[in-house]
Amino acid sequence: MDTARPTRTREYREFVMESSRWDGFQFRDDDILICTPAKCGTTWTQMICAQLILRTPQLEQPLTQYSPWLDALFAPKEAVHAQLAAQTHRRFIKTHTPLDGLPWSDSVRYICVGRDPRDMLVSLRHHMANMKPESFPLLAANASGPWSPPPHPPADFREWFRAWIGSSGTYSEGTATSDVLHYVQSFWRYRHLPNVLMVHYGDLKADREGEMRRIARFLDIDIPEPEWPALVAAAGFENMKANATQLAPQVTDDVWRDPGQFFHKGESGQWRELLTEDDLALYRRVMDERLEPDLAHWLEHGRLG
């Protein structure tokens, strides 16, 4: 573990986000940053924070309005900063920027969410297929420099997986949101700090209420016991899928072919039907080379194991 505080040493830029959009942002002392690679439980954690902060199972606005994705290029940076400055509730902000690209404050709470990398990639494939190319001009218009659309993934999932895992953990330009190894590693080394919490997708599935209570303790939020059942139910996968037009990210920007498909299955282990022993041997080799054993185990199994 690092004994020093995190520092912002790198800039990230992708077709959908830029870490430079944090420049000039003014933190409040009780801000919450929900920090995740893509398809690792971002929206789920945003919903949990919404339940804990707003204390209502029924949101009056789309979730993305309560919890903007500050890095994203769907709106001008100044507009997103102004939106957050106008909020009167405790702010919980989405980001896909690794910790070495984020501003640091001892008074801000950072929740990093991880997931088995194999599950993440299966989910990301469905995610990219569901995204409307018609939304790309909006991203290009708000980019700070030259912009390119994302490359089409190979039709063969195994080919995509092998190319992806071969570059994971080293960070190459344009992979911040999909490089689970690099992303989670940037937070793992600071997990001992009192304002950093590591949360795992698998633990949320195994014990949603227990993890919600753990997050509430981390955020110093006290929920009266009679309120817990409704809040826990509202943060369940089936409820979120049923209310996808309100809860899917960026629904206000008409990004998805089908908002309901953003919440595709929410399952773990789908990779078992897609990857061969050779694929998994390559995966194991990369995990062993690039991650310390405790982090590799946590990333695959979570805290509850």
C-alpha to C-alpha distance for 205 and 58, rounded to whole angstroms: 21
- Does 96 qualify as catalytic in the annotation? yes
| Residue 182 near residue 168, CB atoms below 8 Å | yes
C-alpha to C-alpha distance for 173 and 116, rounded to whole angstroms: 22
C-alpha to C-alpha distance for 238 and 41, rounded to whole angstroms: 14
Contacts of 89 (CB under 8 A, 6+ apart): 53, 54, 66
Q: Helices 293-301 & 180-188, crossing angle to 10 degrees?
A: 120
Q: Helices 180-188 & 117-130, crossing angle to 10 degrees?
A: 120
C-alpha to C-alpha distance for 302 and 305, rounded to whole angstroms: 5
- Tokens representing residue 295 in the block: 């982090």
Per-position b or e across 80-107, b if 16+ CB within 10 A of its CB: bbeebeeeeebbbbbbbbbbbbbbbeee
Q: Which position among 81, 89, 96, 126 bears the catalytic label?
A: 96
Q: What 3-state DSSP class applies to 295? A: helix
Q: Helices 157-167 & 117-130, crossing angle to 10 degrees?
A: 120
Q: Where in the sequence numbering do the catalytic residues fall?
A: 96
